[in-house]
């Protein structure tokens, strides 16, 4: 990492992490939009969505992004901060701890649209540059939803085409979802 490295922040519930997340990471790295991606699972969802434990989601993220070696690093920042995970608080913390780095918030188009409902949205827009990734048929990344994956898992159907194999094995082994 150089002192002026561009770091992409890929935050989310990752409940579970899936090939859409992998696609986003690959896209921003291949397009050289950032030098490195920091994957940051939320600790407590700000809208109180039920999640499997942080430790399970963190481990699944490590399995999901290991193919990127040191270009994608899973961070437990929001666990360190504790309580509800607010993106603005995380961004402010990262900028304070790493003043020489340039941060970019990576969001899918769908998340960017709902961001207006987020805690202190106006301050967040000013605090960090945003990289918005298109969703749908024109998207450079797979159109996959964690909600759909959980539903398919609950129905006992195969989700192999949506998840990295190691994550699917982890889910089965730990009887998640």
Domain 6-143 has CATH 3.40.50.620: yes
Q: What size, in residues, is the chain?
A: 177
Look at 2-6, 26-30, 97-101, 111-115 and tell me which has the smallest mean pLDDT: 2-6
The dihedral region occupied by 32, where left means phi > 0, alpha psi between -120 and 50, and beta the remainder, is left
Cα–Cα distances in angstroms (integers) from residue 17 to residues 34, 92, 116, 126, 165, in the given order: 20, 24, 24, 28, 12
How confident is the model over 41-89, as pLDDT tens digits? 999 998 889 999 999 999 999 999 999 999 999 999 999 999 999 999 9
How confident is the model over 17-36, as pLDDT tens digits? 999 999 999 999 999 999 99
Average pLDDT on 93-103 reads 97
Domain ranges of the chain: 6-143
Cis, peptide link before residue 164, omega less than 30° from 0: no
């Amino acid at each position: 990492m150089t002192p002026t490295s561009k770091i992409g922040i890929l935050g989310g519930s990752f409940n579970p992490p899936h090939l859409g997340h992998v696609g986003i990471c690959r896209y921003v790295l291949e397009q050289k939009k950032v030098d490195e991606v920091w994957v940051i699972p939320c600790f407590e969802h700000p809208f109180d969505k039920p999640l499997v434990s942080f430790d399970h989601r963190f481990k699944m993220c490590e399995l999901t992004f290991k193919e990127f070696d040191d270009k994608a690093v899973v961070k437990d920042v929001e666990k360190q901060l504790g309580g509800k995970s607010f993106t603005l608080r995380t961004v402010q913390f990262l900028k304070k701890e790493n003043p020489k780095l340039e941060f970019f918030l990576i969001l899918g188009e769908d998340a960017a649209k709902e961001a207006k409902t987020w805690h202190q949205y106006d301050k967040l827009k000013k605090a960090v540059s945003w990289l918005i990734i298109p969703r749908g048929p024109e998207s450079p990344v797979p159109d996959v939803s964690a909600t759909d994956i959980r539903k398919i898992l609950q129905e006992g159907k195969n989700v192999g085409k949506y998840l990295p194999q190691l994550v699917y094995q982890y889910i089965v082994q730990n009887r998640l979802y």
